[in-house]
Every structure is written in C-alpha cells, then in structure tokens.
C-alpha cells in the first residue's frame, strides 16, 4: 500500500518524515553487533515475502506481513521495513522518496504496535492460543495500515474521502488473508523453532 509522490500535502509529508525519524532512532538503538545480521536476514526474508502472490478470489494479493515482522523483530521492525520500502522505491519504483516517511509510518508503525499488543499472546505455551494471537496480529497490522493510509489521504484533502472509504472496505479480505497466513506461520514456528520470537526480546 504505497502512496505515490505528489499525492499528499506538504504538511502530511513533513509529519510522516518526522515520525519516521523518531521511529528509526528508537529502532536503530535496539540494533547492535549481535543482532544486525539477524535483523538484516529477516528484513530480506520479509522483502522476499512481499513478492509472494497469494490467490484471492479471481485475482491475487501480494503479502506485506508487517504484523509478523513486528512480532519477530519488535522495535527493530521499524528500520527493517523502512529499508525494504527504500529498496522498493529505488529499485522497483514503488512509492517514492518524498512519501517515504509517510509510507514508513503507515507500514512500520503498525508492526511495532502489533508487537506490543500481541507479543505476550504469541509467546503462549499453548500452540493454538499463540497461533490465534499471531493471526490477530497479522490482520491488525493491515487494518492499522489501511487506517493510517486513510488518515494520510484525509488530512491532505476532502477530495480523497470517498475513495478512502472504498479502499478501507476493499482491504478487509487482505486483512483476513494476512491474518490467516501469519497465524499459520506462528503455528509452524512454534513447532519448529520457538526461539524465533525471542529475537525481539534479545534485541533490547
């Protein structure tokens, strides 16, 4: 859900850039020699995951998986997803430079919020409970992203309002898909390597 250059007002762009600077500052503080390789490799995995197209009805959607990124990386998800967005803008032409701040807030901030809300649930001993929290986190991240995108557009001008309402509804299936996939991923990780959810805690 990349907004493009030129759509938003200057105030929104500056606001987004300011929040992103703070988020990056906080996230980068959590990175040190020990966990930069982990964060980098996971950031690359999320970049690859965003290339996966999953069938949805007659069409398909590409994944964002920011909720899962938040659950695994915690605050470090902010710089990790920021790097992904920067690379997508530069090499793929998704989004743009002036909206990078806003796009980072819209996608990375929900990841961090999901971390704080769902972390305990995902660490649960009970696999099903953990998976359900994972699914909730995955869906919540997309829901928050959609709301944030809507807010960025609504703050820019009334002319986007009608489109924004439709966009919100159009993304409900995406939320469900992301939720289901994140839940399944959490289930598998619990079975195979539960340590993965300790990465974020270790990153302090």
Q: Which of residues 110-149 bind other proteins (CB under 8 A)?
A: 149
| CB 85, CB 104: distance < 8 Å | yes
**Pattern 78-97, other proteins, x by CB under 8 A:** -xx-xxx-xx-xxxxxxxxx
Please report the DSSP string for 93-108 in residue order.
--S-STTHHHHHHHHH
Q: Tell me: does residue 32 bind other proteins (CB under 8 A).
A: yes
Rounded to 10 deg, the angle between the 100-122 and 10-29 helix axes is 40
Number of residues in contact with other proteins under rule CB under 8 A: 82
User: Which residue from 40, 126, 172, 201 is in contact with other proteins, where contact means CB under 8 A?
Assistant: 40
Residues between 10 and 29 with contacts to other proteins, criterion CB under 8 A: 10, 13, 24, 28
Q: Tell me: does residue 201 bind other proteins (CB under 8 A).
A: no
**Nearer residue to other proteins within complex by CB, 25 or 116:** 25
Among the candidate windows 61-69, 110-118, 119-127, which touches other proteins by CB under 8 A? 61-69
Among the candidate windows 108-116, 121-129, 186-194, which touches other proteins by CB under 8 A? 186-194
Cite the DSSP H helix spans in the chain: 10-29, 36-49, 66-73, 77-87, 100-122, 127-156, 161-170, 172-192, 199-202
Q: What angle do CA 191, 135, 140 make, to 5 degrees?
A: 145
Token couple for 122 = 């995902």
């Amino acid at each position: 859900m990349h907004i493009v250059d030129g759509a938003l007002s200057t105030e929104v762009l500056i606001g987004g850039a300011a929040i992103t600077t703070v988020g990056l500052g906080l996230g980068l503080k959590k990175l040190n020699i020990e966990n930069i390789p982990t964060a980098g490799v996971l950031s690359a995995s999320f970049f690859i995951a965003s290339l996966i197209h999953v069938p949805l009805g007659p069409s398909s959607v590409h994944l964002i998986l920011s909720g899962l990124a938040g659950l695994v990386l915690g605050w470090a998800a902010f710089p990790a997803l920021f790097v992904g967005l920067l690379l997508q803008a530069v090499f793929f032409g998704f989004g743009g430079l002036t909206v990078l701040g806003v796009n980072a807030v819209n996608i990375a901030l929900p990841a961090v919020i999901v971390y704080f809300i769902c972390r305990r649930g995902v660490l649960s001993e009970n696999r099903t409970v953990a998976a359900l929290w994972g699914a909730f986190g995955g869906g919540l991240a997309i829901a928050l992203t959609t709301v944030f995108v809507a807010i960025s557009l609504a703050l820019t001008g009334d002319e986007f309002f009608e489109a924004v309402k439709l966009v919100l509804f159009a993304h409900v299936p995406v939320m469900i898909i992301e939720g289901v996939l994140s839940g399944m991923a959490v289930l598998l990780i619990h079975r195979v390597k539960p340590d993965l959810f300790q990465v974020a805690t270790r990153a302090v």
